[in-house]
Amino acid sequence: MKISVKVPATATNIGPGFDCLGMALPIYNTVTIEETVLPGTGVEINVFSDSSEVDELSIEHMELNENSLVYKAVELLFNSIGQTPSELKINIQSDIPIARGLGSSASIIVGGLIAANELLGRPADEAALLSIATEVDGHPDNVTATITGGLVLASQEEDCSVIYRKLDWPDDWTITLCIPDYELTTEISRSVLPKEVAMCDAIFNTKRLGMFIEAINKHDDELMKYALQDKLHQPYRSKLVPGLDKISEVLRHEDSVLGCVLSGSGPSMLVISNKNNTDKIHSVIKQTLNDINIKAEIKTVQIEPCGAQVVSNED
């Protein structure tokens, strides 16, 4: 039996929602798991890519053994029903750029989980899949958006369960995505964050996250401009992302632009705006990065409403 699952990229944090806001984006990985018939062959993992945005060197450095994230997720699912994965072939079609803050790891974890769950006859419900995926990934924001699609507010509770709610993204708010041609690992990006923050900064983000949810619910452009501000992670990480502060400052004066934020831990950026001025946004980003000799893929997208989906099921 062979199962293929198509999984979207994700952007997280989105300004004030550190480790709790996530949105699915229309870039995809496909994870295929096949039961092999030869006993004793163990688990084989392969990674392929047709995308020019995925660095071959990054693929070469991915774990392709029992230490890989996809295997850990699959193993946890098998173990949850008293089984051990044995003869499996896992192929990953990787078209989400790696180490760019776009949830490539989360997509592989979720793709492997859902494919394995299909192989096993769907013993795990959504809650169980969310719990296992969060355990492997470390945070609920990426994996929840990957599973559900759309925009989500997610929290992992003390009992390891995940509570989430989907938020309705306004149709006329668009996202211009900038993917620089260099990597920034989550480990490095997290290393620059302080272990403690000032109470005033925590209060600032609490207010902004409340504004974010209200701006979404009421489709309030002006409130969203305030809501996308952050003091918990972006001021520290911006030092690792050349051009981010300059792009934010220039675009702040454009009426149609609601804000510029890091995607996850970076270095990818999201410019959130109305749909009527995306050419100017592309121009500002391109010119700013050209001035500092950084190449980037720039494209305007809408949120991906669908989460991970089984696209092939072969007996």
Q: Are residues 16 and 131 in the same domain?
A: yes
For tokens 């149709």, what's the residue?
Answer: 171
Q: Are residues 265 and 157 in the same domain?
A: no
Q: Are residues 156 and 185 in the same domain?
A: no
pLDDT band with cut points at 50, 70 and 90 for residue 186: confident
Q: Are residues 128 and 266 in the same domain?
A: no
| Three-state secondary structure call for residue 16 | coil
Q: Are residues 90 and 227 in the same domain?
A: no
| Three-state secondary structure call for residue 218 | helix
pLDDT band with cut points at 50, 70 and 90 for residue 39: low
Q: Are residues 35 and 142 in the same domain?
A: yes
DSSP structural state of residue 205? H
CATH number where 276 lies: 3.30.70.890
Strand partners, 133: none
Residue 43 predicted with pLDDT over 90: no
What local confidence, expressed as pLDDT, does residue 49 receive? Answer: 78
**E strand or H helix that includes residue 18:** strand 17-35
Q: Are residues 134 and 266 in the same domain?
A: no
For tokens 């209200």, what's the residue?
Answer: 214
pLDDT band with cut points at 50, 70 and 90 for residue 46: confident
Mean of pLDDT values over 182-203: 93
Q: How many domains does the chain have?
A: 2
What local confidence, expressed as pLDDT, does residue 63 receive? Answer: 67
Q: Are residues 16 and 124 in the same domain?
A: yes
Helix axes 69-80, 126-137, angle to 10 degrees: 140
Structural domain containing residue 217 = 173-301
What local confidence, expressed as pLDDT, does residue 86 receive? Answer: 78
Residue 55 predicted with pLDDT over 60: no
Strand partners, 33: 3, 90
What local confidence, expressed as pLDDT, does residue 40 receive? Answer: 61
Q: Are residues 253 and 291 in the same domain?
A: yes
**E strand or H helix that includes residue 300:** strand 296-301
Strand partners, 25: 9
DSSP structural state of residue 183? -
Mean of pLDDT values over 165-176: 95
**E strand or H helix that includes residue 225:** helix 221-227
- Helical segments of 81-185, H only: 104-119, 126-137, 140-148
d(CA 8, CA 293) in angstroms, rounded, equals 30
Strand partners, 309: 6
What local confidence, expressed as pLDDT, does residue 313 receive? Answer: 73
**E strand or H helix that includes residue 286:** helix 278-291
Q: Are residues 161 and 197 in the same domain?
A: no
DSSP structural state of residue 263? B
Q: Are residues 186 and 149 in the same domain?
A: no
Q: Are residues 137 and 85 in the same domain?
A: yes
d(CA 256, CA 221) in angstroms, rounded, equals 9
Higher-confidence position of 59 and 144:
144
Tokens of 181: 């041609």
Strand partners, 166: 152
Which segment of 24-28, 66-70, 282-286 scores lowest on mean pLDDT? Answer: 66-70
